[in-house]
Chain A
Amino acid sequence: MKHFTMAAMLIGALALSACDRNSRFGDDAATAGAGGIVPGSPSDPTSPAYFEQTIGDRVLFAVDQSTLSAEAQDVLAKQATWLMENPEFSAIVEGHADEQGTREYNLALGARRASAVQAYLIDRGVAPNRLRTVSYGKERPLAICSDESCYAQNRRAVTVLTAGAGTS
C-alpha cells in the first residue's frame, strides 16, 4: 500500500504547486487524496481507484531504458481504454529514474520514459490534449533502499489522473 500513499502525496504536492492546475478531483477529493485515500473503489470501473489499483497506474523500465516491455504495453493498453471510456479525466505522465545516475541525465531520462508512455497512449487513441508529461528524474524515489529491488520500482512512469477533459 505504500506506493499508493506516495502517489497521493505527489498528487497533493502537485496540486499545491501547479499554478495552471485544474482542481484534481474537486476540493473534497483533493483533501481525501492528501490523506492517502484515492477517490472511489477499486472495484468500481469508473473510479480513479480502479485506474490506479486494478489496472495499474505505472509501468517499469530496464536500467537506462525507455523502451516499453510487453507487460508495460499491456497495462498501458488498459489505461488507454479506461481514459477513452472516462473522458472527464485527463492525465499527467510522470517519468522517474533510479538514483544510479547524474541529476541532469536522470531528468532527461525520466522525460524520455514519460514521453514513451504518452506516445503509446496517444497511439491507442487517447486525445493528445488530455496528456501532459513531467520528469522528476531521481528526485522522487518510491522505494528508498540502495539496491536493485528498490531501483526496479523507481524506474517508472506513473499516469496520474487529473480532473478535466484536457486542454486545447
Chain B
Amino acid sequence: MKPIRILIMALAIVGLTQTATHAQPLRIVIDEGVIEPLPVAIPTFVAAGGEAAQYAAEITRVIAADLTGTGLFREIPASAHISSVTSFDAPVAYADWKAINAQALVVGAVEMAGGGNLVIKFRLFDVFSGAALGEGLQFSGTVEGWRRIAHKVADVVYSRITGEGGYFDSRVVFVSEQGPKNARLKRLALMDYDGANVQFLTDSDDLVLAPRFSPTGDRVLYTSYETGRPQIYVLDVASVSRVALDTSGGNMTFAPRFSPDGQSVVFSLEQGGNTDVYTVGLDGSGMRRLTDAPSIETAPSFSPDGSRIVFESDRSGTQQLYVMPTSGGEAKRISFGPGRYGTPVWSPRGDLIAFTKQNAGRFHIGVMRTDGSEERLLTASFLDEGPTWSPNGRVIMFTRETQGESGAPALYSVDISGRNLRRVATPSAASDPAWGPLQN
C-alpha cells in the first residue's frame, strides 16, 4: 500500500489584476456568530481540452463542498448565474454577480500539463468592492492528487475571507468498524478530512483503538491487542510498517499521544489494576512516571507549547479533568460542572480544551478554556466521545454511537460555536478519529 505522492507547487499569478485596497474588505469574522452564510459563486473552472474539463468539473465541486461544508458559505447554484466564465483572464462582469447577490466569486482554470500533471489557476473576487481579494494563485500537482489541489484552493479562499488558517487539505486517521456489536472487527484507516481516499493501515485480525497522528502527520500511535493485551504501537504512514513502543513492566499500555515536537509519547500504563500517566521517548528511552495515585489517570494530551499536560482522573471519586506540568508534579483540577469529564484534548491554538462529558444519562462534546472557565457543550446524544481538533482549531470531529442492538458508531464534525453538526461520510461504521495537520 504505497501512498500517492503529490507534489504541489503554488505560484502567485502577479500583475494581472488590481487587488482590493478599500477599507472594508470582504470578511467573515467567525467569532461574531455567523448566522447567515456568505453567498459565493463558483462557476465551473475553465478547462483547456476534454480531459481537463472532467477534472475542472470535479475540482470545482470539491471546492464548493469544502466551503459550504463549513456552514460559513452558501453556494449560488450555476442555474442562477447570469454570466458564464469562459476565459480565466476575461474581465469580471461584476454587475452580473452583484445582481444575484454573490458576495464572493471564485474563478479558475484547469489545464493538463506534461507528465501526468495538472495546473490549476484561480482568483478570488470581492464582488461588491469590484476587486480581487489577494493575488491569483497557481497550483500544480499530479492528476492523482487533484482532490488535494482542490482542497488547497478552498483553503486559500477560506483563509482570505475568514482570516483563519484553513483545514481542508488535511487527513484523518480513524478506526473502521464492521460486524455485530459483540464481535466488532476494527482496523485502522486513513482518509481525507471529507471522507475521500480511504486507505486501510491494518487488517482486522487484532482489535485496534484510538490512533493519534504525529505533529507532522508522518506517524500514527495506536493501541492494538496483537499480543493478546493492549499495547501501544508506532506506525510509519508512508511505509505502513509498525513497531511496538518499548514500555516494559506494565500489564497494559494505551491512550498514547505525541508531544508537540514529535519526539516523545505521553500515555497510560496499567499495573496491578492501577492506571497512571507516563512519558517515554519515541525510541523507548527515558520512560518517566508522571502521576502516582491509586486512582485512574488516563487520556493525557499535551498543550501545543509542550509545557503542560491535561488528563482525566477519578481521584475525586468521578472522572474529572486536571492540568499538570509536563515534568509531572502537582495537578490542578479544571472541571467543576455536574457530571463526569473525560478525553481532554488541547486545541492547536492553545486556547481551549475539548472534552467528553457524561451527565444525566447523556454524552456531550464540549470545550472550555484551559483554566476550566467558559465551559460550552456543543453536542448531546446517547453516546458522543473522543473529540479531535481541526488543524486551525475551529472544528471538532468526534465519535457518535447510536443505541440498541444494531447501534454503531459514525464520525461527526461540529464547529466550536456548536453550529454546523455534520456526519462525515465513511464506507462503514467508524470511530476514534484523529485529525492530522494541514499538509504541505
Contacts and interface: CB of A to CB of B under 8 A. Distances in A.
Interface of A: 6, 9, 14, 16-21, 64, 66, 99-105, 107-109, 111-112, 114-116, 118-119, 133-136, 139-146
Contacts, number: 120
Given A116-B273, A139-B209, A105 B299 contact: yes
Given A104-B210, A111-B270, A111-B275, A135 B228 contact: no
Nearest to B314: A105
Given A14-B228, A114-B273, A146-B403, A104 B343 contact: yes
Interface residues of B toward A: which range? 35 or more
Contacts of A105: 296, 298-299, 312, 314, 319, 342
A143 B251 CA distance: 27
B432 to A, nearest CB: 7
A99 B405 contact: no
A139 B184 contact: yes
A103 B404 contact: no
A41 to B, nearest CB: 27
Contact of A134 (B252, B268, B403): B252
A14 B229 CA distance: 9
B273 A20 contact: no
B206 to A, nearest CB: 5
A115 B181 CA distance: 25
Interface of B: 180-184, 205-207, 209-210, 225-230, 251-252, 254-255, 268, 270, 272-275, 296, 298-299, 312, 314, 318-319, 342-343, 356, 358, 382-383, 385-386, 401, 403-405, 407, 432
B254 A107 contact: yes
Contact of A103 (B205, B229, B385, B407): B385
Contacts of B182: 6, 140-144
Tell me the interface secondary structure of chain A in the complex: mixed
B405 A145 contact: yes
Given A9-B183, A102-B343, A145-B405, A107 B227 contact: no
B356 to A, nearest CB: 5
B125 to A, nearest CB: 47
A42 to B, nearest CB: 23
A146 B407 contact: yes
14 contacts: A14-B228, A17-B205, A17-B225, A66-B273, A102-B358, A103-B386, A104-B312, A108-B298, A111-B252, A112-B275, A115-B273, A133-B251, A144-B182, A146-B404
Contacts of B230: 107, 134-135
A30 to B, nearest CB: 15
